[in-house]
A and B are shown apart, each in its own frame.
Chain A
């Protein structure tokens, strides 16, 4: 996908400019960390903050790499973001999902899934802050509000035949609105995001479904809460509702809840050892992810992310 490559190149070029440039002036951690989809926020959900260290009148850049691994799956994400004047954020991310257990699908039908299959997904994101200042407007309840869009394109490889069977498309667009508020005196940050999406497992299993699965957009809320332990350490938790579009299709095909999708949650600790580096460690619970091929196990595990920002 050359678009994504160009965007990465652009972001990296900006990053190098950022290195050479004078200091950008956001307060520590107030640009959030990089979510798995590349947008600034928590780990699993975007926030209304504009990423990078750039505040008003400045341009900043960030890059991140994230690894999450659970009982049966693994996900590696890397990407970059540009922040313009604390107003507009452009992000690009590439995900590599180890879907090796999907070989078991060949037992259901001759899908021709190859061993060790990975699913790749590219995500282009744009986010615009429309109102408020999450940090400095500490005398009002008014949060910072942003709207965002994520274009996702999935490459399922030999799982393409499964996508066809399920009637899921390989690209989709999520639209979301986020509200973020730091209760400064208490050191508590709260975020709520409402996402309109057709994505199955965030898009890794495509978008939409054949009937009787759900093929339309649905609204899914996502919540984060964080507590500042010090200037550069925050702990928190997230909860992200998911659409579960495919389960009824699986049920109709006699597969029971084999295609069920559960809500995602995590608890995290984020540490910024310097203005330019942040590390996030989390325990994630992704619920069941295609439980029909993973012994109905819940997928839980560790999540580690590193971000550099200028």
Chain B
């Protein structure tokens, strides 16, 4: 039991360390560009409706934010897009964003992905690409 468990845990670590390089499999799972456009339309509606995230997005140019998110998500998923917006740090420098705001956005995104029928595993693959952005987007530490 002891040896099996240790072997299992080492195997788990090995498996997990083989961080998957972005291929376009994920992009296809999300329904490519049309799928991402649909996802962002739904995401923005939810972001505006949620009392935690709404105040951050109401003053923004929502159409533009959606387009940039489509490009950005498409790019991190290995799709044929190039995100041309500002880098994450300068894009958020003038905003008051706490870790709880970041987490709230993740939760709203999860709801949107659920609504689009994106499998949990694929959701986490995307979130793993996005999560490190916490370093540049959270301004209130």
Contact = CB atoms under 8 A, between A and B. Distances in A.
Interface of A: 23-28, 55-58, 86, 133, 135-141, 181, 183-188, 190, 223, 225, 228-231, 237, 239, 263, 265
A95 to B, nearest CB: 26
A188 B8 CA distance: 12
B21 to A, nearest CB: 11
Contacts, number: 96
Interface stretch (B67-75, B83-91, B103-111): B103-111
B22 to A, nearest CB: 10
B12 A228 contact: no
A137 B132 contact: yes
A262 to B, nearest CB: 11
Contacts of B121: 187
Q: Summarize A's interface: helix, strand, loop or mixed.
A: loop
A230 B16 contact: no
B55 to A, nearest CB: 13
Contacts of B127: 138, 184-185
Contacts of B107: 27-28
Contact of A265 (B1, B19, B100, B132): B1
Given A185-B20, A230-B120, A55 B103 contact: yes
A150 B44 CA distance: 46
Given A56-B141, A190-B13, A230-B120, A185 B128 contact: yes
Category for how many chain B residues contact A: 35 or more
Contacts of B6: 223, 239
A225 B12 contact: yes
11 contacts: A25-B99, A27-B103, A56-B99, A57-B99, A139-B128, A184-B124, A185-B125, A185-B127, A185-B129, A237-B5, A237-B8
Nearest to B19: A185
A265 B17 CA distance: 25
Interface centre among B5, B107, B124 (most CB of A within 10 A): B124
A184 B20 CA distance: 11
A237 B106 CA distance: 27
